[in-house]
Amino acid sequence: MSADTIIKPDKETKAETKPGNYFVSNYPPFSFWKEEEVPMVESMLNSPTPGTSPLGIYYHVPFCRKRCHFCYFRVYTDKNSQDVRRYMDATIRELEAYANSPYIAGRKPKFIYFGGGTPSYLSAQQLTELTDRMKAVIPWDEAEEVTFECEPGTLSEKKLEVIKNFGVTRLSLGIENFNDHILETNGRAHRSEEVFRAYEHARNLGFQNINIDLIAGMLEETDDNWTECIEKVLELSPDCITIYQMEVPFNTTIFKSMKDQGKLTAPVADWPTKRRWVTQAYKALEKAGYTVTSAYTAVKDPENTKFIYRDRLWAGADMVALGVASFGHLGGIHYQNQTHFDQYCETQEENTSAVRRALLTTEDERFVREFILQWKLGRVSPAYFSDKFGVDIKERFSEIFTDWKNAGDLYEEEGDLMLTRDALLRIDSMLHCFFLPQHQYTKYV
């Protein structure tokens, strides 16, 4: 069996989980980004007028203790301290180049995001040195949010104290499940005991916003296990809970095993089951006083618990991408860095650009990008798109909205377009109808 056999998964997600990417994280699709457009990034950076959009920084830490069976990110489990040193040096050189460019010079980040991989894989000393060097290049004193992803088994009280002291305001714990057998079956490095210990340390240190990640539909997950996971979340009472529905992208070890066995259906829960589980979780969280704020998140205090990284990006902010395979967005240009460790480091050691592929978007593509991403919040404001892009979304998409209303997926409230809960949990499968004609029926990545 070749990947081409199943290259176009069931976008409507009506039944079993097929391999492929369903989660729509950007637009236009990554498959349209090209090496030929890489010079556009340099041209933008050297433009004489600084950018005016809010600025963010994404820092990719590609190191992990283990590679999860469902992971599709660029991560490494075989790097030593010298490799980490080389990588940190390369990312600082990359940040310096951005900071010295006319487009970025003088601007300060409003949000910073450390993603992975496993940012908490780095030692307390490495983290202190890295963040001190970053702040020396571009100060963080105007940052509204600093998010830091963690694998619970890599955390100690000392490391958490260091993480808090260098300015993290949003700590995100990649728990995924509370059952040790399921964690092991899915290739997770941590176990439940480490979860509770790390969470207690983080609470005692007074982090402003603690988020917990769960995945609905992991290998061998059951109704009983999912119910237990919800109960554990309610006991911990985090500020934010993020729930993803399990996918099996092509570059995962789960897909490799499927391919070897000639299977077309992933060995995880089907889409109706995953949506039922997320619905169950959201009902329990709402009963406990939480508010559902997107297709994936519920927060305890929506007035004070924000996710600025997400909201700024979905409203067109600039974001500098640092590190191997990381994604950025500057002045309407999407780009991704070199996707192999040595290649990335060599670009910085040779003082050349780390960018591998890019795409200069049109005004209409930028409109569609914000429009489809903001649907994930469950609420879209026609006034926002009229004011920013001069587009009457009710007129442009009248047929789609009529169909959604007839299907019971859409209603209006105080001038905004609203998704029902059922539609919100299917939103990634619904967004393709807004893609421009040239982007329809194509590979997403």
Q: Are 242 and 297 in contact (CB under 8 A)?
A: yes
- Read off the pLDDT band of 445 (50, 70, 90): confident
Report the number of distinct structural domains present in the chain: 1
Is 167 contained in some domain? yes
Give the integer Cα–Cα distance in Å for 408 and 296.
Answer: 21
The helix-helix angle for 271-287 and 223-236 (nearest 10°) equals 30
Q: Are 284 and 417 in contact (CB under 8 A)?
A: no
DSSP-based three-state secondary structure for 191: coil
Reading the block at residue 215, the tokens are 């995945």
For 250-277, the pLDDT digits (tens) are 989 999 999 999 998 999 999 999 999 9
- Read off the pLDDT band of 306 (50, 70, 90): very high
Looking at residue 75, which CATH number applies to its domain? 3.80.30.20
What kind and span of H or E run contains 65? none
Is 19 contained in some domain? no
Is 419 contained in some domain? no
Residues in CB range of 181: below 8 A, 6 or more apart: 220
- Residue 426 scores a pLDDT above 80: yes
The owner of tokens 């919800």 is 230
Task: Report, in angstroms and rounded to the nearest whole number, the Rg of the chain calculated over CA atoms.
Answer: 21
Q: What pLDDT shows up at residue 7?
A: 45
Is 224 contained in some domain? yes
Give the integer Cα–Cα distance in Å for 328 and 319.
Answer: 5
* Cis peptide upstream of residue 152 (ω within 30 degrees of 0): no
Is 194 contained in some domain? yes
Is 171 contained in some domain? yes
- Residue 3 scores a pLDDT above 50: no
Q: What percentage of the chain carries pLDDT values higher than 70?
A: 98
Give the integer Cα–Cα distance in Å for 338 and 276.
Answer: 39
For 281-297, the pLDDT digits (tens) are 999 999 999 999 999 99
Is 168 contained in some domain? yes
For 125-170, the pLDDT digits (tens) are 999 999 999 999 999 999 999 999 999 999 999 999 999 999 999 9
Give the integer Cα–Cα distance in Å for 437 and 5.
Answer: 23
Is 262 contained in some domain? no
For 39-79, the pLDDT digits (tens) are 999 999 999 888 999 999 999 999 999 999 999 888 999 99
- Read off the pLDDT band of 10 (50, 70, 90): low
E strand map for 62-117: 111-116
The helix-helix angle for 157-165 and 124-137 (nearest 10°) equals 10
- Residue 5 scores a pLDDT above 70: no
- Read off the pLDDT band of 4 (50, 70, 90): very low
Q: What pLDDT shows up at residue 264?
A: 86
Q: Mean pLDDT over all residues of the chain?
A: 95
Structural domain boundaries, residue 224 = 33-239+305-312
